[in-house]
Structure 1
Amino acid sequence: MFEKINALPKVAIAILLGLLGGFANLLPLWFLDSSEFLLGQLFVILALMSLGWRYALLCVAIGAAFIFYRWGHCWPSMVFLLEIAWLQVFCVRPNKPLFMRGLAFWVLFGVPLLFLFGKFALDLNLLVIMTALAKYFINAAICLVIVDLLSLFLFKQLWQAKPLYRILNYMISHLIILVVLVTTIMLTNSHYERIEYEVRAQLSDVANTTAQRIDSFLGNHRRALADAAYNIERGLDKQQTITRLVESYPNIRTAITAEQSGLVTHFYPDTLRTSLAGEVPAVSDRQYFIQAPYYPGGFVSGIFRGRGFGDDSIVAISAPIYQQGEFDGIVEGSVFFNTFEQFIPRVLSHMGHLMILDSNNKVVFSSLKSDFNTLDEINDATLDTLTNDNQNLYIGKTEEVFYRRSVRSEQFGWQVISLIERKYVNMAVASAWGQSFFLALFIIALSSVLVSKLTRMLINPMHDLSSRLNSFDPASRNDDLSPKEEATFLEVITLQQQFTQLAFKLSMSFKKLQKANQENQSLNAQLTNFNAQLETQVQEKTEELIDALDRANKASSAKSLFLANMSHEIRTPLNGIIGMTADMQRNTLDQSTAESLQIIYQSAHNLLLILNDILDYSKIEAGALELDKQDVAFHKVLHALTTSFCKTGVKQGVSFSSDVDASVPEYLLLDELRITQIINNLLSNAGKFTEQGSIKLNARYINGALHIAIIDTGVGIAKEKQKLLFGEFIQADVSTTRKYGGTGLGLTICKRLVEAMGGSIEVESASGQGSTFSVIIPAEPGEAQHEEKQQVNAPNLRGVNVLLVEDNPINQIVAAKLMDHTGCSLTKANDGLDALALLKGNNIPLVLMDCQMPNMDGFDCTRRIRQNPDLYGTPYIVAITANAFNEDRVKCLQVGMDDFVSKPIEPDALYQCLLRWQG
């Protein structure tokens, strides 16, 4: 108890302690970045020990008011209240020290309760919660250890009749714990400040480097435009000048020249002129035209959205043209940027963010897509938070906190802002603090052992003297206890002897340490030699890995080439089979012939599906599969699938039913092709392996995810074979392939597609008892689409000359029959050379171009046509090819083709393409 202040009313003392605790809670004592210590609990525990639990509750209430004033809530006070109750029951009443029993409360109840408060009441992220929990645990440890240390002087009854060994051991150990904890906190906070400094320095370096690159980039291109204007003034041809300009500077996408009235006279590339068809080619309203006369060295505009040649975001650089001292027009180049991603900062092994603003504070580039996009105009308030040197933090729209540094380029005034999320700094410091914490625990444990030994060495002489005194027999002679002058210093003599022995032991320890140090140096030399050998071995292994990687890349390229050739060679005859069969089916036939044609048509389509499975698996295996999410009318898609399955996939004697729950939205945001492929594969498997009984399809929508279950009463799958079911080229039994057919890729593709869409697929089955395949795919509700797909009829091309470039006679016949329905005038060419000859001097507005042909393929032929429009015209070129990879489509468009239709040719796809040309 506080004996000296017993005269003061206890309530006044409790209020005083509560106020002291409240102000202690307001002290700016930080742990890491923003978690403050609440050392006011120290005064609450002192009130508990000195005044009793009722007055301690009053202190808790006062401290809670200060916490609420600081944070806007006082959830921790509830845990502090429970801590007082725990200490009252387990420490104060039994008159026990607080530290270990108090920490037990925090381990069992305090930390879990605060975790629940942070997670569910305050909705904090996990890193913040874990930091706060560590802070509260350390906070409790510091308060408890300080009270225990003070108790030796303030609450002496707690240590009455206790062994001196226990008191010394307890107090010294607690003092070490306090020193280690405080030192760890100080070092951790110092480490945090150092990492913050390094992060800011790295962000500044990135911003400065990027700003310098921007100035250099824009300066070089501005000089290039000024040189072009000078060359034109000297009499060089304008078209040649801008052509050479674009070819010399890849980042200049388009270039024009305009006369003094603003009318555009020359374009590059020439397709820019085509894209401006129907518009007056004038730029007099553009800033780069208006400002050019005032900037003889070249004018650089802010970023804006281009027109006439795509809608990319560009920066225009212009220079004035003078003739005889008079303004005669401008030369302008549109510059686009595609290399800023390389400047995005990487700090603490994490990718940061980069923003670039032009001189008008418009966003040129932003990797922080949640807050800013290209062409966004930054208002003054937001710009101040991003660029004010007095603020180092930026809080995004998603409440994420970023460190940020900004630099304005010296030459053009563009603003470069580099950012990194603060949570990465917290994670790095938390990791370092975790290591320090465990090291501190080790030091505390080791210190406790050493302190225990030390206190025993100090107390043992007293125990020895006590034992000798207890065994003294007055009847016997004992020289050691005879009344001599030195007898009073027997304890000191004993301690000196112990010290002498300790000194001897310490000397031996140092000798051992010296010997161990020599051995350590020897080991270090061996380690250095080993490291040198290891470096050589690592270099050899690295060279082997590089060689292995090169061989693997070559093998992958060979496989891709093989798949492309296989696709082309199989699709070419399939085009003939499917095309001719479809054409014959349009005629009136007897039932037997119609059924035979349907078998041929269906068999060819089955072969096409197998080919597509192989190609899909190749894409998935190469990681090249891309999803195309759109608003899908899921009910209609499911209805079409089940209707088709009922007609072609259900065997006689098997019933089929579908149940789509009302919870499934009418429209879902999905990849229609892939969800159709997944459901169709699973239904096909169910139909294939179910000889009798039933097949059911159930669809539900639960918690933002589409749940699909396909249940059959088929042959089932043994438990030991289910784990192999989703492997490549795997079926439940080898005999399955012989009996039912299939590539063994269907379920593999299903699993990969489902996982690519963020979902999961499972199977429940037993041999002879049927199977249930369950698919869960996350899907947000979509928006209704007003455009309905309609039957595509053949367009009317009467009087239109069409050139078919195709080397395969069968494909010529198929394409010719499809084009007959359009009424066009069709001319055939066997290769690219024949096509060029037919295009000379003839008005042919539409060309159907195969890609792989002898003598000259479709790619070279298209390049020749586009390079010589005066000779061959500017026909609309549609690629019709058996190459089905996406990269083949991209290549066709890159060489100048306008559209793409794959073989086997589907009439609707071809007619839709022709309608796009007409439109």
Structure 2
Amino acid sequence: MKPHTIKYAFWGAAFGICFPLIATFFELWMSDVSLSIANVIHAHSTQPLLWIIDSAPFILGIVASFAGKKQDKLQELNTHQESIIREKTESLQKRNMILENEIELRKRISVELEAAKIEADSARQAEEKFLANMSHEIRTPLNGIVGFTRLMLDTEIDDQQQEYLQSVMRTSNHLVAIINDILELSKIKAGQIDFEMRPICSNEFFAGVMNTLILAGKDKGLSMNVSLHTSLPEAFIGDTTRLSQVLLNLINNAIKFTSKGSVTLSARMFDADFGTRLRLEVQDTGIGIPADKLESIFNDFQQAESSTTRLYGGTGLGLTISKKIIELLGGKIGVDSTLGEGSVFWVEIPCAACDRPESHAEVIRNQAEPKSLNAKILLAEDNEMNRLLAKSVFEKWTQDVEIDYAFNGKEAIEMLMEKDYDIILMDLQMPEMDGFTATRFIRTEMEAPKRDIPIIALTADVMSVERKKAFAVGMNRYITKPFKPEELISEICLCIERA
């Protein structure tokens, strides 16, 4: 039996004994007899009511035992509930500890991620700054090399000298192309590439792309072809600059790796489950690509074989840049190739047909005889070689240009205050005061008409951030070094005419 059952039965029986004792004493008192065992026995044997009362201890003991059983059950239930509550409490405490640990872990991870993000941003900014500085430091002397080489090519030289100078030009242009590829890849990875979607005339666009490299192909005896499918509309929506960049990369590669045969650019439009797509293909009859190299050629600085770089040159960045541009446009790029027979590089991008854009008359930039440029020019440039190059360019193109030189932005402002000029050619990175600060001062602090003088950024900085900053402070045009003399003259004429 359970503890409470025994306890309650005992105390019930003990309480029940009180009733026979009281009844017996009362009976003896009523009978006026003394208390003795004989009288007690006689009273109990003669009074039936006492018999009933004598059963009270038994009855109360049984009744109390039931109450004890209920108490035992209640205690068991309480004990069970307490056990459940204790287990749940322990479980909740464990979960709470786990959650607290997870929260602490997430906080640590969040702090680490934030630190990693800051570190990555710092590394990216350091990389961008390094690339920009590297580009600036390389382009500045290259500007002199290319510029003076161009000037020398226009002088009376013998065939051997011309061949040497053309080799210098090709090498310089190759170095510029490598720098441009590295900077372009950096901009793409940093998410600094912008797209300008607008109507494109199909025939004019694809013919123009092919015409850009047609001479390079014909110099190798290649047949350069354009094939436009009837499914291609007269015009479609796209980014002219980026599509041209991709196609020129693919066509240039095709020419580079093809010694005989042809290079064909084809285009067609087709409907897919996810919308209309434009498919572009560049097919060549060149050396082809091994099957195990078809995927890796789209990786950074990768070509099919290490010997390819030695034989054909290049950095292996062109296809990487093309792939990233196409992916940003929501498309895909791939290649099908047979070793020794040729390759087909293909591109598929989302595209929509549109109405043919209206034909706008192109702005005719003045590239007339040197005498047509009659201007007073202020050149702010700290590099002596670039100042000498500018002087030589203007002397060759015209005798009617008056040019003054400022070593930095501060000198340029002082000279502009003292003298009237038609235009300023402003370098961006100069000691004491850079081109940005000088331009901002001219636009905000000086009075008209000097405040409105045309300013052309003439710089070795090619990063888009620098370009945007230049336009933000009020520069009119942006020319990167090394530049073509005719390009510079054209921009000067255009700015002066618009002013």
TM-score, length basis structure 2: 0.74
Matched position secondary structure for 1:725: helix
Aligned pair partner of 1:916 in 476, 495, 498: 495
CA distance, structure 1, for counterparts of residue 79 and residue 286 of structure 2: 82
Q: Distance in 2 between matches of 1:634 and 1:600?
A: 37
Q: Does 1:809 align with 2:388?
A: no
CA distance in 1 between partners of 2:217 and 2:229 (Å): 23
* 1:796 positional shift: 6.1
CA distance in 2, matches of 1:712, 1:678: 16
Aligned to 2:213: 645
The letter for the 2-side match of 1:802 is I
The change in CA–CA distance for 1:871 and 1:664 in structure 2 (over 3 A counts) is closer
1:571 counterpart letter in structure 2: R
Q: Cα 1:635–1:594, aligned 2, differ >3 Å: closer, same or farther?
A: farther
Contact 1:657 1:695 (C-alpha < 8 Å) held by counterparts: yes
* Amino acid paired to 2:470: C
Deviations 1:682-738 (A, max 9, x none): 112112222344332222233443321112232322232222221122222222222
Deviates more, 1:690-699 or 1:864-873: 864-873
1:692/1:559 CA distance change after superposition, 3 Å? same
Alignment of 1:844-855 (within 5 A): 844-855=421-432
- Distance apart, 1:535 and its partner CA: 2.0
Equivalent residue number for residue 783 of structure 1: 357
In 1, Cα distance between the equivalents of 2:376 and 2:261?
A: 58
Please state if 1:571 is matched with 2:139. Answer: yes
Counting only pairs closer than 5 Å after superposition, residues 125-136 of structure 1 correspond to structure 2 as none
Question: Unaligned stretches of 5+ in structure 1?
Answer: 1-507
Q: Deviation of residue 835 (structure 1)? A: 2.3
Write the letter of the residue equivalent to 2:194: E
Partner of 1:858: 435
Residues 721 and 517 of structure 1: CA distance in aligned 2, closer, same or farther (over 3 Å): farther
In structure 2, what is the Cα distance between the partners aligned to 1:619 and 1:642? 26
User: Hey, what's the Cα distance between the residues in 1 that align with 2:296 and 2:373?
Assistant: 58
Q: CA deviation at 1:870?
A: 5.2
How far, CA to CA, are the matches of 1:638 and 1:683 in structure 2? 12
Distance 2:393 2:231 in 1: 44
Cα RMSD, aligned residues only: 3.1
Deviation, 1:909, is: 3.6
> Are 1:843 and 2:411 counterparts?
no
Equivalent residue, structure 2, for 1:697:
265
Shift of the alpha carbon at 1:513? Answer: 9.7
1:898 alignment partner, one of 466, 476, 488 = 476
Shift of 1:633: 3.6
Does the 8 Å contact 2:410/2:432 carry over to 1?
Answer: yes
Which of 710-719 and 754-763 deviates more? 710-719
Tell me if structure 2 keeps the 8 A contact 1:667–1:784.
no
Relative to structure 1, is the Cα distance of residues 871 and 786 closer, same or farther in structure 2, using a 3 angstrom cutoff?
closer
Correspondences of 1:667-678 after superposition (within 5 Å): 667-678=235-246
SS of match in other structure, 1:763: strand
Structure 2 residue matching 1:891: 3-state secondary structure: helix
Task: Provide the secondary structure at the position in 1 that maps to 2:478.
Answer: strand
Query: What are the superposed Cα offsets for residues 873-892 of structure 1, whole Å, 9 maximum, x if unpaired?
Result: 43322211111112112222
- Deviation track 1:625-669 (CA, whole Å, cap 9, x = no partner) reads 101223334423432333343322467465443322344344433
Partner of 1:659: 227
Letter in 1 for 2:358: A
* Aligned-partner residue type, residue 145 of structure 2: I
| Corresponding position: 1:826 with 2:403 | yes
2:316 maps to a residue whose letter is: G
Q: Which moves more between the two structures, 643-652 or 762-771?
A: 643-652
For residues 345 and 469 of structure 2, the distance between their equivalents in structure 1, rounded to whole angstroms, comes to 39
CA separation of 1:546 and 1:650: change in aligned 2, threshold 3 A: same
**In structure 1, which of residues 771, 782, 785 is the aligned counterpart of residue 343 of structure 2?**
771
Deviation at 1:548, TM superposition (A): 1.8
Please, which of 728, 743, 746 is the counterpart of residue 318 of structure 2? 746
Following superposition of structure 1 onto structure 2, how do residues 50-61 of structure 1 map, counting pairs within 5 Å? none
Q: Contact 2:382/2:431 (CA < 8 Å) preserved in 1?
A: yes
Q: Distance between the aligned counterparts of 1:876 and 1:643, measured in 2?
A: 34
Distance change (3 Å), C-alpha of 1:562 and 1:722: same
Could you tell me which residue of structure 1 aligns to residue 304 of structure 2?
A: 732
Q: 1:609 to 1:792 in 2, by over 3 A?
A: farther
Q: Are positions 1:627 and 2:199 aligned together?
A: no
Letter in 1 for 2:390: A
Secondary structure, counterpart of 2:248 in structure 1: helix
Which residue identity does 1:803 align to in structure 2? L
Q: How far did 1:841 drift? A: 2.2
One-letter amino acid matched to 1:672: T
Aligned-partner SS, 1:648 = helix
> Which residue in the other structure is 1:617 paired with?
185
Residue aligning to 1:636: 204
Distance 2:408 2:298 in 1: 45
Q: Corresponding residue for 1:549?
A: 117
CA contact (8 A) 1:659 1:697 kept: yes
Number of aligned residues: 412
SS at match of 2:299: coil
Aligned amino acid, residue 469 of structure 2: K
Structure 2, gaps ≥5 residues long = 1-75
Shift in alpha-carbon separation, 1:599–1:662, aligned structure 2, 3 A:
farther
* C-alpha contact (below 8 Å) 1:840/1:871 kept by paired residues: no
Which one-letter code corresponds to 1:814 in the other structure? L
**Alignment check: 8 A CA contact 1:881 1:903 kept:** yes
Deviations 1:558-585 (A, max 9, x none): 1111011111112212222332333344
Distance (whole Å) between structure 1 residues aligned to residue 447 and residue 361 of structure 2: 40
Which is further off, 709-718 or 609-618? 709-718
Question: Aligned AA for 1:768?
Answer: G
8 Å contact kept, 2:336–2:343: yes
Pairing partner for 2:333 from 761, 765, 769: 761
Deviations 1:840-899 (A, max 9, x none): 321223211111122332223334434542599433222111111121122223333333
Q: Secondary structure at the match of 1:735?
A: helix
- Match of 1:802, SS state, is strand
Contact 2:467 2:478 (8 Å CA) reproduced:
yes
SS at match of 1:762: strand
1:841·1:872 contact (CA, 8 Å) conserved in 2? no
Contact 2:426 2:457 in 1 (8 A): yes
Question: In 2, are the aligned partners of 1:805 and 1:829 still within 8 Å (CA)?
Answer: yes
Q: Supply the distance in 2 between the matched residues of 1:583 and 1:555 (Cα, whole angstroms).
A: 41
Among 423, 443, 465, the residue aligned to 1:887: 465
Q: Distance in 1 between matches of 2:374 and 2:261?
A: 58
What SS does the aligned partner of 2:92 have?
Answer: helix
Percent same amino acid among aligned pairs? 35
2:25 maps to what in 1? none
Question: Quick one: distance in 2 between partners of 1:520 and 1:767?
Answer: 70
Structure-2 change in CA distance of 1:853 and 1:787 (3 Å) = same
Provide the C-alpha distance between the structure 2 equivalents of 1:871 and 1:698, rounded to a whole number of angstroms: 54
C-alpha contact 1:628 1:671 (8 A) present in aligned 2:
yes
Task: Give 1:807 deviation, angstroms.
Answer: 1.6
Structure 2 counterpart of 1:604, which letter? S
What is the alpha-carbon distance in structure 2 between the residues aligned to residue 871 and residue 855 of structure 1?
25
Alpha-carbon distance, 1:586 to partner: 4.1
Match of 1:371 in 2: none
- 2:404 & 2:374 partners in 1: Cα distance? 13
Deviation, structure 1 residue 748:
0.8
d(CA) in 1 for partners of 2:323, 2:381? 39
